[in-house]
Amino acid sequence: MKRPYAYIAGTGHAVPKRIVTNDDIAAMGLETDDQWIIERTGIRQRHIAGPGESVKSLSADAARQAMAKAGVQPGEIDVIILGTATPDRLLPATAVELQSELGCTRASAFDIAAACSGWLYGAIVGESLIHSGTAETVLVIGAEKLSTVVDWTDRNTCILFADGAGATILRRTRGGQKGILSSFMRSDGALAELLWRPGGGAEEPFTAELETQRRQYVRMSGREVFKHAVRAMADATDRALDAAKLTAADVDLLIPHQANIRIIEATAKHAGISMDRVFVNVDRFGNTSAASIPIALNDAIEQGRVKEGMTVLFAAFGAGFTWGSLVVRF
Ligand code: ACO
Protein backbone atom coordinates (compact mmCIF):
# COMPACT_ATOMS: atom_id res chain seq x y z
CA MET A 1 0.00 0.00 0.00
CA LYS A 2 1.25 3.48 -0.88
CA ARG A 3 0.74 6.72 1.02
CA PRO A 4 -1.43 8.10 2.45
CA TYR A 5 -1.31 5.76 5.45
CA ALA A 6 -2.76 8.28 7.91
CA TYR A 7 -4.95 11.39 7.89
CA ILE A 8 -5.67 14.21 10.33
CA ALA A 9 -9.11 13.41 11.74
CA GLY A 10 -9.45 16.21 14.30
CA THR A 11 -7.67 19.26 15.71
CA GLY A 12 -7.85 21.50 18.77
CA HIS A 13 -5.92 24.19 20.54
CA ALA A 14 -5.74 25.85 23.94
CA VAL A 15 -3.89 28.90 25.21
CA PRO A 16 -3.65 30.46 28.66
CA LYS A 17 -6.22 33.08 29.61
CA ARG A 18 -3.74 35.89 30.20
CA ILE A 19 -2.74 38.01 27.20
CA VAL A 20 0.55 39.93 27.42
CA THR A 21 0.97 42.75 24.89
CA ASN A 22 4.23 44.31 23.74
CA ASP A 23 3.40 47.36 25.84
CA ASP A 24 3.00 45.08 28.87
CA ILE A 25 6.56 43.77 28.28
CA ALA A 26 7.92 47.30 27.90
CA ALA A 27 6.17 48.16 31.18
CA MET A 28 8.21 45.42 32.93
CA GLY A 29 11.18 47.79 32.65
CA LEU A 30 12.80 46.31 29.53
CA GLU A 31 14.18 48.70 26.94
CA THR A 32 11.88 47.76 24.10
CA ASP A 33 8.74 49.02 22.46
CA ASP A 34 5.70 47.86 20.54
CA GLN A 35 6.92 49.23 17.20
CA TRP A 36 10.34 47.51 17.42
CA ILE A 37 8.78 44.17 18.30
CA ILE A 38 6.12 44.35 15.56
CA GLU A 39 8.64 45.43 12.89
CA ARG A 40 11.24 42.76 13.73
CA THR A 41 8.96 39.87 14.66
CA GLY A 42 5.33 40.54 13.68
CA ILE A 43 4.27 39.72 17.25
CA ARG A 44 1.62 41.97 18.84
CA GLN A 45 0.63 39.85 21.82
CA ARG A 46 1.08 36.39 23.33
CA HIS A 47 -0.63 34.20 25.93
CA ILE A 48 1.28 33.53 29.15
CA ALA A 49 0.31 30.82 31.61
CA GLY A 50 -0.76 31.58 35.16
CA PRO A 51 -1.25 29.38 38.22
CA GLY A 52 -3.06 26.14 37.39
CA GLU A 53 -2.17 26.30 33.70
CA SER A 54 0.38 23.59 32.90
CA VAL A 55 1.61 21.80 29.79
CA LYS A 56 -0.65 18.92 30.82
CA SER A 57 -3.76 21.07 31.37
CA LEU A 58 -3.37 22.99 28.10
CA SER A 59 -2.68 19.74 26.24
CA ALA A 60 -5.74 18.07 27.77
CA ASP A 61 -7.96 20.96 26.71
CA ALA A 62 -6.61 20.87 23.12
CA ALA A 63 -6.76 17.04 22.99
CA ARG A 64 -10.40 16.87 24.15
CA GLN A 65 -11.39 19.25 21.31
CA ALA A 66 -9.45 17.18 18.75
CA MET A 67 -10.96 13.90 20.00
CA ALA A 68 -14.49 15.35 19.93
CA LYS A 69 -14.05 16.61 16.35
CA ALA A 70 -12.61 13.26 15.26
CA GLY A 71 -15.36 11.36 17.07
CA VAL A 72 -12.72 9.39 19.00
CA GLN A 73 -13.18 8.13 22.58
CA PRO A 74 -10.23 8.16 25.02
CA GLY A 75 -10.13 4.35 24.97
CA GLU A 76 -9.57 4.35 21.20
CA ILE A 77 -6.23 6.20 21.40
CA ASP A 78 -3.34 3.77 20.87
CA VAL A 79 -0.43 6.19 21.26
CA ILE A 80 0.03 9.69 22.69
CA ILE A 81 3.02 11.64 21.38
CA LEU A 82 3.71 15.00 23.02
CA GLY A 83 6.28 17.31 21.45
CA THR A 84 7.57 19.73 24.08
CA ALA A 85 10.72 21.52 25.17
CA THR A 86 9.09 22.41 28.49
CA PRO A 87 7.72 19.24 30.10
CA ASP A 88 5.93 19.80 33.40
CA ARG A 89 8.71 17.77 35.04
CA LEU A 90 11.71 15.84 33.77
CA LEU A 91 10.45 12.49 35.04
CA PRO A 92 8.08 10.99 34.01
CA ALA A 93 7.11 12.22 30.55
CA THR A 94 4.26 14.75 30.53
CA ALA A 95 2.56 12.53 27.94
CA VAL A 96 1.87 9.82 30.54
CA GLU A 97 0.38 12.33 32.98
CA LEU A 98 -1.79 13.52 30.10
CA GLN A 99 -2.77 9.92 29.36
CA SER A 100 -4.05 9.56 32.91
CA GLU A 101 -5.87 12.92 32.76
CA LEU A 102 -7.63 11.96 29.50
CA GLY A 103 -8.35 8.37 30.54
CA CYS A 104 -6.62 6.88 27.50
CA THR A 105 -6.08 3.62 29.36
CA ARG A 106 -5.12 1.54 26.29
CA ALA A 107 -2.44 3.94 25.07
CA SER A 108 1.33 4.14 25.28
CA ALA A 109 2.59 7.68 25.78
CA PHE A 110 5.89 9.48 25.39
CA ASP A 111 7.40 12.94 24.89
CA ILE A 112 9.51 14.07 21.95
CA ALA A 113 12.22 16.69 22.46
CA ALA A 114 12.68 18.37 19.09
CA ALA A 115 11.95 21.98 20.15
CA CYS A 116 9.82 23.84 17.59
CA SER A 117 9.78 20.80 15.28
CA GLY A 118 8.23 18.70 18.07
CA TRP A 119 4.70 18.39 16.66
CA LEU A 120 5.99 17.77 13.14
CA TYR A 121 8.46 15.08 14.28
CA GLY A 122 5.61 13.59 16.34
CA ALA A 123 3.28 13.49 13.35
CA ILE A 124 5.93 11.67 11.29
CA VAL A 125 6.51 9.13 14.09
CA GLY A 126 2.75 8.71 14.56
CA GLU A 127 2.23 8.09 10.86
CA SER A 128 5.04 5.50 10.92
CA LEU A 129 3.42 3.69 13.87
CA ILE A 130 0.18 3.54 11.92
CA HIS A 131 1.98 2.31 8.79
CA SER A 132 3.79 -0.41 10.76
CA GLY A 133 0.50 -1.69 12.17
CA THR A 134 1.44 -0.75 15.74
CA ALA A 135 -1.37 1.82 16.03
CA GLU A 136 -4.66 2.78 14.45
CA THR A 137 -5.24 6.10 16.20
CA VAL A 138 -2.53 8.43 17.48
CA LEU A 139 -2.91 11.65 19.45
CA VAL A 140 -0.10 14.03 18.43
CA ILE A 141 0.32 17.18 20.49
CA GLY A 142 2.69 20.12 20.61
CA ALA A 143 2.56 22.01 23.91
CA GLU A 144 4.78 24.49 25.70
CA LYS A 145 5.06 26.69 28.75
CA LEU A 146 8.06 28.65 27.47
CA SER A 147 7.33 31.53 29.85
CA THR A 148 8.98 29.41 32.57
CA VAL A 149 12.28 29.02 30.70
CA VAL A 150 12.79 32.44 29.13
CA ASP A 151 14.82 35.06 30.92
CA TRP A 152 12.39 37.91 31.51
CA THR A 153 15.35 40.31 31.79
CA ASP A 154 16.59 39.42 28.27
CA ARG A 155 14.82 41.53 25.64
CA ASN A 156 16.30 39.40 22.82
CA THR A 157 14.24 36.36 23.79
CA CYS A 158 11.38 37.18 26.15
CA ILE A 159 9.53 39.15 23.46
CA LEU A 160 9.37 36.06 21.21
CA PHE A 161 8.27 33.03 23.18
CA ALA A 162 4.86 32.10 24.56
CA ASP A 163 2.64 29.33 25.93
CA GLY A 164 -0.04 27.11 24.40
CA ALA A 165 -0.99 23.69 23.08
CA GLY A 166 -2.21 22.26 19.80
CA ALA A 167 -3.56 18.74 19.28
CA THR A 168 -4.24 16.50 16.29
CA ILE A 169 -5.71 13.04 15.90
CA LEU A 170 -4.03 10.84 13.28
CA ARG A 171 -6.02 7.84 12.03
CA ARG A 172 -5.36 5.06 9.57
CA THR A 173 -6.68 5.84 6.07
CA ARG A 174 -9.12 3.43 4.46
CA GLY A 175 -8.39 4.22 0.81
CA GLY A 176 -8.68 7.60 -0.89
CA GLN A 177 -6.19 10.43 -1.26
CA LYS A 178 -6.79 12.20 2.06
CA GLY A 179 -3.83 12.21 4.44
CA ILE A 180 -0.06 12.66 4.72
CA LEU A 181 1.40 12.57 1.20
CA SER A 182 5.06 13.17 2.08
CA SER A 183 7.36 14.01 4.97
CA PHE A 184 10.91 15.15 5.62
CA MET A 185 12.90 15.49 8.84
CA ARG A 186 16.49 16.52 9.55
CA SER A 187 18.71 17.87 12.36
CA ASP A 188 22.15 19.40 12.84
CA GLY A 189 23.54 19.24 16.38
CA ALA A 190 26.55 21.37 15.42
CA LEU A 191 24.17 24.33 15.78
CA ALA A 192 22.94 23.38 19.27
CA GLU A 193 24.50 26.34 21.06
CA LEU A 194 22.75 28.94 18.91
CA LEU A 195 19.53 28.34 20.82
CA TRP A 196 19.73 26.43 24.08
CA ARG A 197 19.43 26.26 27.83
CA PRO A 198 23.02 25.61 28.90
CA GLY A 199 22.29 24.48 32.48
CA GLY A 200 19.66 22.80 34.58
CA GLY A 201 19.95 19.34 32.99
CA ALA A 202 22.00 16.30 33.99
CA GLU A 203 25.32 17.77 32.81
CA GLU A 204 24.94 20.95 34.87
CA PRO A 205 22.38 20.18 37.58
CA PHE A 206 20.58 22.96 39.40
CA THR A 207 22.72 24.88 41.91
CA ALA A 208 22.49 28.34 43.46
CA GLU A 209 25.48 29.37 41.30
CA LEU A 210 23.78 28.20 38.11
CA GLU A 211 20.74 30.23 39.04
CA THR A 212 22.82 33.34 39.75
CA GLN A 213 24.37 33.00 36.29
CA ARG A 214 20.88 32.45 34.85
CA ARG A 215 22.19 29.43 32.91
CA GLN A 216 18.87 27.60 33.23
CA TYR A 217 17.22 30.06 30.84
CA VAL A 218 17.00 30.09 27.04
CA ARG A 219 19.94 31.77 25.32
CA MET A 220 19.79 32.67 21.67
CA SER A 221 22.09 34.12 19.02
CA GLY A 222 19.24 35.86 17.19
CA ARG A 223 20.95 36.80 13.91
CA GLU A 224 22.58 33.37 13.48
CA VAL A 225 19.31 31.61 14.29
CA PHE A 226 17.58 33.79 11.72
CA LYS A 227 20.07 32.88 8.99
CA HIS A 228 19.94 29.13 9.63
CA ALA A 229 16.17 29.18 10.12
CA VAL A 230 15.60 30.66 6.68
CA ARG A 231 17.95 28.07 5.17
CA ALA A 232 16.31 25.16 7.04
CA MET A 233 12.79 26.26 6.15
CA ALA A 234 13.76 26.54 2.48
CA ASP A 235 15.22 23.02 2.59
CA ALA A 236 12.10 21.74 4.37
CA THR A 237 9.60 23.15 1.87
CA ASP A 238 11.64 21.91 -1.13
CA ARG A 239 12.06 18.37 0.24
CA ALA A 240 8.44 17.65 1.13
CA LEU A 241 7.16 19.06 -2.18
CA ASP A 242 9.73 17.02 -4.16
CA ALA A 243 8.81 13.84 -2.25
CA ALA A 244 5.11 14.41 -2.96
CA LYS A 245 5.95 15.20 -6.62
CA LEU A 246 4.18 18.54 -6.26
CA THR A 247 5.16 22.15 -6.93
CA ALA A 248 4.36 25.39 -5.13
CA ALA A 249 1.44 25.87 -7.52
CA ASP A 250 -0.22 22.77 -6.02
CA VAL A 251 -0.12 24.16 -2.47
CA ASP A 252 -3.40 25.71 -1.28
CA LEU A 253 -1.96 26.80 2.06
CA LEU A 254 1.47 26.92 3.70
CA ILE A 255 1.33 26.59 7.49
CA PRO A 256 4.85 27.37 8.71
CA HIS A 257 6.19 27.34 12.26
CA GLN A 258 5.18 30.71 13.68
CA ALA A 259 8.62 31.92 14.78
CA ASN A 260 8.48 35.40 13.36
CA ILE A 261 6.99 37.13 10.35
CA ARG A 262 10.30 37.83 8.61
CA ILE A 263 11.30 34.14 8.64
CA ILE A 264 7.79 33.22 7.42
CA GLU A 265 7.98 35.77 4.56
CA ALA A 266 11.45 34.58 3.52
CA THR A 267 10.22 30.95 3.53
CA ALA A 268 7.18 31.79 1.42
CA LYS A 269 9.32 33.76 -1.04
CA HIS A 270 11.79 30.90 -1.42
CA ALA A 271 8.98 28.39 -1.95
CA GLY A 272 7.28 30.67 -4.50
CA ILE A 273 4.07 30.82 -2.47
CA SER A 274 2.37 34.24 -2.26
CA MET A 275 1.54 35.49 1.24
CA ASP A 276 -2.21 35.16 0.61
CA ARG A 277 -1.58 31.38 0.64
CA VAL A 278 0.40 31.48 3.90
CA PHE A 279 -1.25 31.16 7.31
CA VAL A 280 0.05 33.62 9.91
CA ASN A 281 -1.06 33.99 13.52
CA VAL A 282 2.27 34.84 15.15
CA ASP A 283 0.82 38.33 15.73
CA ARG A 284 -1.68 36.91 18.25
CA PHE A 285 0.19 33.95 19.75
CA GLY A 286 3.94 34.69 19.50
CA ASN A 287 6.31 31.74 19.10
CA THR A 288 4.83 28.76 20.96
CA SER A 289 7.55 26.38 19.69
CA ALA A 290 6.19 22.81 19.32
CA ALA A 291 2.63 24.10 19.74
CA SER A 292 2.82 26.68 16.98
CA ILE A 293 1.93 24.51 13.95
CA PRO A 294 -0.97 22.57 15.51
CA ILE A 295 -2.36 25.82 16.98
CA ALA A 296 -2.05 27.44 13.54
CA LEU A 297 -3.73 24.45 11.87
CA ASN A 298 -6.70 24.52 14.22
CA ASP A 299 -6.94 28.31 13.90
CA ALA A 300 -6.82 28.00 10.09
CA ILE A 301 -9.57 25.36 10.10
CA GLU A 302 -11.74 27.51 12.41
CA GLN A 303 -11.26 30.47 10.04
CA GLY A 304 -12.31 28.34 7.05
CA ARG A 305 -8.82 28.55 5.50
CA VAL A 306 -8.44 24.74 5.32
CA LYS A 307 -11.18 22.91 3.50
CA GLU A 308 -11.78 19.37 2.27
CA GLY A 309 -9.62 18.56 -0.76
CA MET A 310 -6.97 21.21 -0.04
CA THR A 311 -3.24 20.49 -0.09
CA VAL A 312 -1.41 21.97 2.88
CA LEU A 313 2.36 22.26 3.29
CA PHE A 314 3.72 22.34 6.85
CA ALA A 315 7.30 23.44 7.58
CA ALA A 316 9.06 23.67 10.92
CA PHE A 317 12.48 24.46 12.36
CA GLY A 318 13.68 24.70 15.90
CA ALA A 319 16.47 24.49 18.42
CA GLY A 320 18.85 21.64 17.87
CA PHE A 321 18.73 22.55 15.02
CA THR A 322 15.83 20.42 13.92
CA TRP A 323 13.69 20.94 10.86
CA GLY A 324 11.12 19.14 8.77
CA SER A 325 8.03 19.29 6.62
CA LEU A 326 4.82 17.52 5.67
CA VAL A 327 2.45 17.68 2.74
CA VAL A 328 -1.09 16.79 3.80
CA ARG A 329 -4.26 16.53 1.74
CA PHE A 330 -7.40 17.39 3.72
N1 ACO B 1 13.73 45.75 21.72
C2 ACO B 1 14.54 46.72 21.29
N3 ACO B 1 15.79 46.50 20.83
C4 ACO B 1 16.21 45.23 20.81
C5 ACO B 1 15.44 44.17 21.26
C6 ACO B 1 14.15 44.47 21.72
N7 ACO B 1 13.31 43.51 22.17
N8 ACO B 1 16.12 43.02 21.11
C9 ACO B 1 17.30 43.36 20.59
N10 ACO B 1 17.38 44.70 20.42
C11 ACO B 1 18.48 45.49 19.90
C12 ACO B 1 19.76 44.73 19.90
O13 ACO B 1 20.34 44.78 21.20
C14 ACO B 1 20.56 45.47 18.88
O15 ACO B 1 21.11 46.62 19.46
P16 ACO B 1 22.64 46.99 19.17
O17 ACO B 1 22.73 47.19 17.68
O18 ACO B 1 22.81 48.24 19.98
O19 ACO B 1 23.41 45.81 19.64
C20 ACO B 1 19.51 45.92 17.87
O21 ACO B 1 18.24 45.83 18.54
C22 ACO B 1 19.46 45.04 16.65
O23 ACO B 1 19.59 43.69 17.07
P24 ACO B 1 19.61 42.52 16.08
O25 ACO B 1 19.79 41.23 16.83
O26 ACO B 1 20.50 42.78 14.92
O27 ACO B 1 18.11 42.60 15.56
P28 ACO B 1 17.48 41.76 14.45
O29 ACO B 1 16.98 42.62 13.39
O30 ACO B 1 18.32 40.56 14.09
O31 ACO B 1 16.20 41.19 15.25
C32 ACO B 1 15.53 39.14 16.26
C33 ACO B 1 16.36 40.38 16.42
C34 ACO B 1 14.07 39.52 16.14
C35 ACO B 1 15.71 38.27 17.51
C36 ACO B 1 16.00 38.39 14.98
O37 ACO B 1 17.38 38.17 15.03
C38 ACO B 1 15.30 37.10 14.78
O39 ACO B 1 14.15 37.08 14.38
N40 ACO B 1 16.01 35.99 15.02
C41 ACO B 1 15.39 34.68 14.95
C42 ACO B 1 14.78 34.44 16.28
C43 ACO B 1 13.83 33.34 16.30
O44 ACO B 1 12.89 33.29 15.55
N45 ACO B 1 14.10 32.42 17.23
C46 ACO B 1 13.29 31.33 17.48
C47 ACO B 1 13.29 30.42 16.34
S48 ACO B 1 13.65 28.80 16.71
C49 ACO B 1 12.41 28.33 17.56
O50 ACO B 1 11.30 28.72 17.28
C51 ACO B 1 12.67 27.41 18.68
Taking only the tens of pLDDT, the chain with its 330 residues reads 689 999 999 999 999 999 999 999 999 999 999 999 999 999 999 999 999 999 999 999 999 999 999 999 999 999 999 999 999 999 999 999 999 999 999 999 999 999 999 999 999 999 999 999 999 999 999 999 999 999 999 999 999 999 999 999 999 999 889 999 999 999 999 999 999 999 999 999 999 999 999 999 999 999 999 999 999 999 999 999 999 999 999 999 999 999 999 999 999 999 999 999 999 999 999 999 999 999 999 999 999 999 999 999 999 999 999 999 999 999
Whether 104 is catalytic is no
Q: Is 13 one of the annotated active-site residues of the chain?
A: no
The three-state secondary structure class of 109 is: strand
Q: How far is the CA of 39 from the centre of ligand 1 (A)?
A: 11
Which atom in ligand 1 lies closest to the alpha carbon of residue 157? 35
**pLDDT of res. 119:** 98
Q: Residue 202: name the closest of 88, 55, 90, 85 by CA.
A: 90
* Ligand 1 geometric centre to CA of 37 (Å): 9
Q: Which of 13, 228, 257, 298 is catalytic?
A: 257
* Residue 156 alpha carbon to ligand 1 centre in Å: 5
Q: What is the DSSP letter of 123?
A: H
Q: What is the pLDDT of residue 282?
A: 98
**How much distance in Å is there from the Cα of 111 to the middle of ligand 1?**
30
Residue identifier of the C-alpha nearest atom 1 of ligand 1: 32
- The 3-state DSSP class for residue 329 equals strand
Ligand 1, atom 20: nearest CA belongs to which residue? 156
Under 8 Å between Cβ of 18 and 47? yes
Q: Where are the alpha helices (DSSP H) in the chain?
A: 22-26, 34-41, 55-70, 94-102, 118-132, 208-212, 222-243, 261-271, 282-285, 292-302
Transcribe 260-306 into DSSP letters: -HHHHHHHHHHHT--GGGB---HHHH-B-GGGHHHHHHHHHHHTT-S
Domains identified in the chain and CATH numbers: 6-172 (3.40.47.10), 179-329 (3.40.47.10)
Give the other-Cβ count within 10 Å of 212's Cβ. Answer: 8
CB-side neighbour CA atoms (13 Å) of 59: 32
Mutate to test the pocket of ligand 1, among 226, 227, 230, 285 (most ligand atoms within 8 A of CB): 226
CA angle centred on 113, ends 180 and 292, rounded to 5°: 60
Residues with Cβ < 8 Å from 313, sequence gap 6 or more?
237, 240, 241, 251, 253, 254, 255, 271, 273, 325, 326, 327
3-state helix vs strand vs coil in the chain, percent to 5: 40, 25, 35
Other CB atoms within a 10 A radius of the CB of residue 28 amount to 12
Nearest CA to ligand 1 atom 35: 222
pLDDT at residue 330 in the model: 98
**What is the predicted pLDDT for the residue at 2?**
87
CB atoms closer than 10 angstroms to residue 51? 5
131 labelled catalytic? no
Judge whether 94 and 148 are in contact, CB under 8 Å.
no
Residue in 13, 116, 158, 228 annotated catalytic: 116
DSSP 228-258: HHHHHHHHHHHHHHHHTT--GGG-SEEEE--
134 C-alpha to center of ligand 1: Å? 44
pTM over 0.75: yes
d(CA 43, CA 48) in angstroms, rounded, equals 14
* Angstrom distances, CA of residue 251 to CA of 7, 302, 326: 17, 19, 12
Q: Which residues line ligand 1 (CB under 6 A)?
A: 32, 36-37, 40-41, 115-116, 155-156, 159-160, 195, 220, 222-223, 225-226, 229, 259-260, 263, 287, 289, 318-319
Ligand 1 atom having least distance to the Cα of 41: 34
Contacts of residue 298, defined as CB under 8 A and 6 or more positions apart, other chains included, come to: 11, 12, 13, 62, 65, 66, 166, 167
Structure confidence at residue 231 (pLDDT): 94
Atom number, ligand 1, closest to the C-alpha of residue 259: 44
The residue to mutate among 159, 223, 292, 322, having the most atoms of ligand 1 within 8 angstroms of its beta carbon, is 223
Task: Measure the CA–CA gap between 137 and 102, rounded to whole angstroms.
Answer: 15
